[in-house]
Structure 1
Amino acid sequence: MNIIEQGIKEKLIKISEDEKQITYCNFHRPRNYSNPEEKVQAETFVKLVLQYDYRAERIKMYEMVTMGSERKEADIIVYNDDDCSQPHILVECKNDTVSEQEFLQAIEQAYSYAYALPNDVKYVWVTSGAKDEYFQVDKKRNTRITQPDIPQYGVKVLATYKYVYEAEALKEVEGKQKFFDLEIVEENVLTIRFKQAHDALWAGGQLNPSEAFDELDKLIFCKIWDERKHRLPGDPYDFQIITAQKEEVKNWEKLNNDELRRAIRDIENKRLLERVNQLYEEGRKKDAEVFRDNIRLSAEKIRTVVGYLQDINLGETDLDAKGRAFETFMDSFFRGNFGQYFTPRPIVKFAIDILPIKNDSFVLDTSCGSGGFLLYALNKIREEANRMYPNYKKDTKQYGRWKKYWHDFAEKNLFGIEINEQISRAAKMNMIIHDDGHTNVITEDGLLSSNDIAYKTTNKGFKYNHFDFIITNPPFGSSVRKSEKAYLSSYDFGKKVPDWLDVKGKTTISKRDKQNTEILFIEQCHRFLKEGGYLAIVLPDGILTNSSLQYVRDDIEDKFRIVSVVSIPQTAFSATGAGVKSSVLFVKKHSSEQTMHLRNLKASIQINLKEEFQYFEHLQKWEKEKKRKTIELENFYNPYPSFSMTELKKTAEYKAWKEELNAFYSEKVNDLKEQLQDAYLKERQTKLPDYPIFMAIAEDIGYDATGKSTADGDGDLDVIKVELSKFINHLEFNNL
């Protein structure tokens, strides 16, 4: 139950049925609940009563404060007495999307209200829901000392490390700073926190958005690592702003209030910087591949980010919620600022749901981007664990088995390759947030050989003939040139094999000058797959339809059992900035014996047909005829006997005649080739293995070209998924 639901249950607030208005128990005029700032204020009011134990009748909402000739409205004032004449805490609320600069302005605004009140306010609390700042105020001395929190009812802070409990008599108790418990938050709250922390880092141009993203990644890593450390109850977290005492400042008595405030903040920042750097180094010792460079933020910038994240319990926040929050923030960043095009989530989910992935399956994405396919595979196994161990939250034994079931899969069975270091780092962070698996996401060229990958990354898990499933969306449209990449010559698709109907009977294999990356990735995926393993790959439709790429389709047919082709609309990638018409191809790897058998069978059919049709005999005969006719006609039709043969060939009459003669024999050759091709297709149908292929066209995939939802669920993909899953299960059950 969230804080608003608790407030409604305790009758502290009442929200209208259409959720447009809210009424407070201590303020009887309805307010506009559609206003984001009002929602923050409602949450704050309920917290003051239920979490801080202040009485609702001592809390005033929307109090008018006289400031010179103006009267302004303070959001919340908490009083010490029933008459509400002794203000204790002033609260300023802002909506959860305010920038860091706007938040700092809100602090100044809160202080102006506090100083304008006739009686002294002891504390100021500024909150946006996403971020909180607390201050102890002494209006007479004009002090502004940061606090870890405001005191609960019955407790007042005399100094940073001293508390006085008010009962029948005042009793002073010495003790350490009160360290707050971490809070489990919802997905939307976490998304906002990530975004605001990022915006605070790059705002003003001190860092570009890309650098800010990297630095925020590092601090999220520190936050997660901090939560995983063992500590006694009540011990502070390192990833937390811990306030300092004025006595810790050298010669503090001689400083004015502003100097003292800055000196205290400098001490706090220095200590925070040391603790965060220590966390970072501890984490990097466990996995140096996650981050290779140091944190490059100032102590003040680190404090800003810590302020947004310190009170969140990332470890206990729902795995799906925190994962989606990070992905939402990450995808919007890359799409808006980095020009990267990631696979839309409905397509990712569709491909993963189709495949019979188990917790002992080895899964690879050769172009993993931000890790979407890997994370949905992990989610599939985790959901299976939930079904197998439904009482894992209550039963300790079940919990251990539940955790091992999916966590071992995440850590040992999920592998990803991403060539862009920044995106690869984001994928690793994505995996860390989903509770590990990041050690098998590497930054490397996915077209390198497995030996080169093992040598360059020291990760020996990327082995050929090893993976049960490969799910990937390789980069489209770019080419690898032999002058740029030495490995092009090691790919079959990097070589050019003469057509079986080549008129000169060529058999020599030559090197291509270049080849499209998506075509090379098909071959690389085949190498990584074990026999019987599945490949689901997003490909541009040109590979499936262009006549010039028939050799690619032939090779796919030799190496794989084609399972399904699912056409997706051209708008599928429009929202991410790409517009290539694509399909998802599902195939199952043949054994090497089956591939060799198919190739030999095709070659045998071709050889027999060329013999049966006397292909080369006809070509030789027509070539001789053409030469003879050329000589005869040159001698007979030469209208200019005085011309040399060279001069004759330059005339328009000769060129027209020669062109007509060549066209005549070219047509004869092409007709023969067509007859052979038709005969080849018929022979293939009778001699090659015949099997069904699942074909589908998805016109509606749940969103339009702008990314806006068009249906409940994923549109046509939901229907196709059910039928294709049945089809694949049938293949597996019958070993087809």
Structure 2
Amino acid sequence: MKLTDILKGSEYSLALFSTESIISLEAKITEKPNKKGGVDPYVKCIIRDKEIKLTPEEIVRQLYTQELIERYGYPKERLVFEYPVYFGREAKRADIVIRDKDDFNVAYIIVEVKKPKAKDGREQLKSYTHSTGASMAVWTNGSAITYYQRKNPNYFVDISNIPKVFETLEDILNTPFTMDDLIKSDKLTQTGKSLKDLITEMEDEVLANAGVDVFEEVFKLIFAKLFDEQIGATDPKYNLEFRNSGQSDIQLKAKIEKLFKKACDKWEGVFSDDAKINLTPPHLSICVSSLEGVKLFNSNLDVVDEAFEYLMSKSSKGEKGQYFTPRYVIDMCVKMLNPKADEPIIDTAAGSSGFPVHTIFHVWKNMQLAKNEPVSHLFTAIKKGYEETEYVQNNVFAIDFDEKAVRVARTLNLIAGDGQTNVMHLNTLDYSRWDTVTKGEQWNDTYNNGFKKLKKLSHTKDFSGFDFILLMANPPFAGDIKEGQILSRYELGMKNGKMQKSVGRDILFIERNINFLKPGGRMAIVLPQGRFNNSSDKYIREFIAERCRILAVVGLHGNTFKPHTGTKTSVLFLQKWDDKLCPKVDNYNIFFATQQKEGKNNSGDKLYWKADKSGMTTDPKLALCDKYGHPVIYHDLHATIDYYDRGGVNKNEPEQITPDGIAEAFVEFAKKEQLSFFVDAPLIK
């Protein structure tokens, strides 16, 4: 019996198959009588090893299976017919499934021959791959064939073929995806979504039911992707690894695990040596699909920072009254204190280390401008010269008492410091116990290098005094310190000659931070508004005035720390009295300003300048953007400036895209007052 006789009148064909394959199958046909007095063709199944009736559909299945074995090299044990695909309690059967080589319980490629029309076959395959997590699918009726890659649960693309047994889909596609490609297709600039939005979607879709610590697993993925992007930023030919380029879920997990381990080897002290990604392969696949098109690196790492702020707010951070400081507030402080490359800086309540990281960016930009090197939005990722890394490794420090925050801060500092950082897990206020804490073996393994450098800046054996020139901090202001061992070491812990029963945490931070500064050193500290005008806090103001010149007080908008808190805050700027840099006087001018443009709405959502600068909008698609497509926050704390490389000598031609703000007004004030740190005009306005 001929196969063409069996196919007569059906929508199936033999056009795709070789004459040899057709003859071979025909030679195996046996005929069995049927109830109608005729005969039916049977053949011994190539996979099930039993006699089955040869229908038009079965002919195509047998012939294509023969191709999978002989042409593609798949062993019979990886091939399954009538593979069960579950939809709740209902189970349907996939015609052919190629199982994953590492786990036979996982579908790698699904083949559909039951539906002889391409449209019907495609819809069937969509539901099958979505349910099983298979990364590829094939539809054929013998005359036509289509190959699909499942990019994410609801998005399929046509591909030229499926891989042979020793290939991956990446070999088939052979499509490069470099950092330049990522920049052009960046999901955040294309869609107006934030990384926080994508993480929220991942939580809704998979993470909430994955039985894992969401903070830890997303942190691992961001960590691996940052490492991948940093390589891409330094090597324009490097193909980014953090993407699903055709692997099965299991293969993809192996690839991302390998990337994560490489990141851990380079950026030590963030994850334990035995850390691994705990997401299941299907869950990881969905998360990678969500994140692979996102560019994490930009001019100030605020994309990453917003995501970490969201993740941290779900843990214990907010309960301690410590919130991440918006980056536009940090940039105002940095511009007003004008850090230099030879000035050590510390943040004593680091959070995600925003103040130190943005100080690094400020100093680096000045270095680039001084050398007339173009300022790129990826300069946070590209390889730095000796001068830049020396500055980070020897002059930038941060401390926090929250272990999760320290790990976030270390990540951002490690990127900036070319694999080294001075971010430490210490309780700033309880320095009497530092000697004990720092002797712990595990603590030492992680933080000892940074602590050695920190000790060199201490001029007391008990760590009560340091010689930092710069300090910026947003200390926690919720909760009181009641422990006598801590209170007894602070003058502000005493009142009228007696130790107080409890003192606000932020009050002790004021004294502690002043003691971190050498004479002439300067400081910015975020404080509750009440510290500036409550009559009961007069003794605090007197304490400050005795030791420091009050440079400025900037009132922040009430929405600044929303959605976490609506507490009204101000930033206090100080310079420690010094005979040379800041001679003590009784009367002097103080700069006062209040933020008018709020930066966030009452719900804590970011506000952006409208593209025509006529007001504000919450829609990033309608926003004024910098030259790299990043929406510009609606605030008046400082001006936003783009730098353009016009060629020749104009490698950093500035263009101010928002009006002067509070920082620019303070710079004029500082020059007029001849403050020591603005004797020479800064390069960055």
Instruction: Note whether the superposition's TM-score is higher than 0.5.
Output: yes
Instruction: Name the % identity.
Output: 22
Task: Mark the CA change 1:358 to 1:125 in structure 2 (over 3 Å): closer, same or farther.
Answer: farther
2:575 maps to 588
Aligned to 1:77: none
The correspondence for 1:294, drawn from 275, 278, 286, is: 275
Which residues of 2 match residues 204-603 of structure 1 at below 5 A? 206=208, 211-226=213-228, 239=242, 241=244, 265=248, 269=250, 271-292=251-272, 294-295=275-276, 296-310=278-292, 319-320=298-299, 323-335=301-313, 340=318, 341-392=323-374, 403-431=385-413, 436=418, 439-449=421-431, 451-452=434-435, 455=439, 456=443, 457-458=447-448, 459-460=450-451, 461-462=453-454, 463-464=457-458, 465-482=466-483, 486-496=485-495, 498=496, 509-573=497-561, 575-591=562-578
Distance apart, 1:551 and its partner CA: 2.1
1:726 aligns with 2:668: yes
- Structure 2 match to 1:159: 164
Offset, 1:480: 0.8
State the distance in 1 between where 2:399 and 2:257 align. Answer: 28
1:468 maps to a residue whose letter is I
SS of the residue corresponding to residue 421 of structure 2 reads helix
Q: 1:695 to 1:284 in 2, by over 3 A?
A: same
- Whole-Å Cα distance in 2 between the matches of residues 402 and 433 of structure 1? 10
**CA-CA distance at 1:223 after TM superposition:** 3.1
- The question of whether the paired residues in 2 share the 8 Å contact of 1:147 and 1:160 is answered with no
> Matched residues in 2 for 1:194 and 1:569: separation?
23
| Contact 2:266–2:419 (Cα < 8 Å) also in 1 | no
Shift in CA distance, 541/133, structure 1 to aligned 2, threshold 3 Å: same
Matches within 5 A, 1:562-711: 562-573=550-561, 575-591=562-578, 689-707=586-604, 708=607
Equivalent residue, structure 2, for 1:714: 635
Q: What is the Cα deviation at residue 225 of structure 1?
A: 3.5
Secondary structure of residue in 2 paired with 1:319: coil
Aligned to 1:138: 139
* Shift in CA distance, 704/119, structure 1 to aligned 2, threshold 3 Å: closer
For residue 306 of structure 1, report the CA deviation from its aligned partner: 3.2
Number of the residue aligned with 1:659: none
Checking the alignment, whether the CA contact within 8 Å between 2:596 and 2:635 is kept in structure 1 is no
The whole-number CA distance in structure 2 between the counterparts of 1:112 and 1:586 is 73
Q: Give the RMSD, CA atoms, in angstroms.
A: 5.0
Following the alignment from structure 1 to structure 2, what is the Cα–Cα distance between the partners of residues 698 and 151? 50
- Partner AA of 2:182 in structure 1: I
Change in 2 beyond 3 A, CA 1:525/1:176:
same
List per-residue Cα deviations over 1:370-429 (Å, max 9, x = no partner). 2322332233223323423444589xxxx9997445444344432222222223323333
Structure 1 contact 414–437 (Cα < 8 Å) conserved: no
Larger Cα-atom Rg: 1
Paired residue total: 480
Q: What SS does the corresponding residue of 1:689 show, helix, strand or coil?
A: coil
- TM-score, structure 1 length as denominator? 0.54
Amino acid at match of 2:527: L
Aligned partners of 2:524 and 2:206: how far apart in 1? 44
- Counterpart amino acid of residue 492 in structure 1: E
Give CA deviations for 1:10-68 in whole Å, capped at 9, x if unaligned. Answer: xxxxxxxxxxxxxxxxxxxxxxxxxxxxxxxxxxxxxxxxxxxxxxxxxxxxxxxxxxx
Q: In the alignment, is the contact (CA less than 8 A) between 2:559 and 2:601 conserved in 1? A: yes
Counterpart for residue 182 of structure 2: 184
Change (3 A) 1:549 1:346: same
User: Equivalents in 1 of 2:557, 2:242: separation in Å?
Assistant: 46
Cα deviation for residue 475 of structure 1 reads 1.0
Unaligned runs of 5+ in 2: 1-107, 128-132, 459-465, 609-614, 617-632, 639-659, 681-685
**What SS is found at the alignment partner of 1:439?**
coil
Corresponding letter in the other structure for 2:139:
D
Could you report, residue by residue, the CA deviation over 1:174-200 in whole angstroms, capped at 9, with x for unpaired residues? 978736323323343696567535643
- Deviation (angstroms), 1:215: 0.9
Letter in 2 for 1:731: L
8 Å CA contact 2:559–2:598 kept in 1: the answer is: no
- Indicate conservation of the 8 Å contact 1:572/1:705, yes or no: no
Partner Cα distance (1:393, 1:720) in 2: 24
- Summarize the Cα distance change of 1:515–1:593 in structure 2 as closer, same or farther, 3 Å threshold: farther
Deviating more after overlay: 434-443 vs 215-224 = 434-443
Please give the per-residue CA displacement for 1:435-470, whole angstroms capped at 9, x wherever unaligned: 757722233322232854755542323344232211
The separation in 1 between residues aligned to 2:424 and 2:280, in whole angstroms, is 29
- Cα 1:122–1:411 change in 2 (3 A) is farther
Q: Which amino acid aligns with 2:410?
A: K
Deviation per CA, 1:256-302, whole angstroms, max 9, x where unpaired? xxxxxxxxx4xx61x54444444444443444421236233233333
Paired residues of 1:289 and 1:439 also in contact (CA < 8 A) = no
Q: In 2, distance between residues paired with 1:468 and 1:274?
A: 47
**C-alpha deviation, 1:432, in angstroms:** 5.0
Q: Distance in 2 between matches of 1:401 and 1:205?
A: 34
Q: How far apart are the structure 2 equivalents of 1:406 and 1:209? A: 42
Pick closer, same or farther for the CA change 1:188–1:447 going to 2, 3 Å: farther
Q: Is the 8 A contact 1:482 1:512 kept in 2?
A: no
CA contact (8 A) 1:148 1:179 kept: no
Structure 2 equivalent of residue 49 of structure 1: none
Q: Which has the higher contact order (CA 8 A, sep 6+)?
A: 2
In 1, the alpha carbon distance for the partners of 2:408 and 2:358 equals 16
Q: Kindly tell me: are residues 554 and 311 of structure 1, through their superposed partners in 2, closer, same or farther at Cα, counting changes over 3 Å?
A: closer
SS for the counterpart of 1:493 is helix
Offset, 1:222: 2.4
Shift in Å at residue 536 of structure 1?
Answer: 0.6
Match of 1:680 in 2: none
Paired with 1:234 and 1:473, the residues of 2 have a C-alpha distance of 41
Shift of 1:588: 0.7
Shift of 1:357: 0.8
| Structure 1 unaligned blocks of 5 or more | 1-106, 127-131, 165-173, 245-264, 499-508, 599-687
Counterpart Cα distance in 2 of 1:388 and 1:699: 34
2:130 maps to none
- Report the AA paired with residue 164 of structure 2: A
Deviation (angstroms), 1:510? 3.0
Q: Structure 1 208/536 Cα, relative in aligned 2: closer, same or farther at 3 Å? A: farther
For the 8 Å contact 2:207–2:214, the answer to whether it is kept is no
- Give, in angstroms, the shift of residue 517 of structure 1: 0.6
- What's the offset of the Cα at 1:586? 0.7
1:348, distance to aligned residue in structure 2 (A): 2.0
Residues 584 and 223 (structure 1 numbering): CA distance in 2 closer, same or farther, change over 3 Å?
Answer: closer
Higher helix share: 1
Pair 1:576–1:163, CA change in 2 (3 A): closer
Contact 2:414-2:421 at 8 Å conserved across structures: no
Letter of the structure 2 residue corresponding to residue 289 of structure 1: G
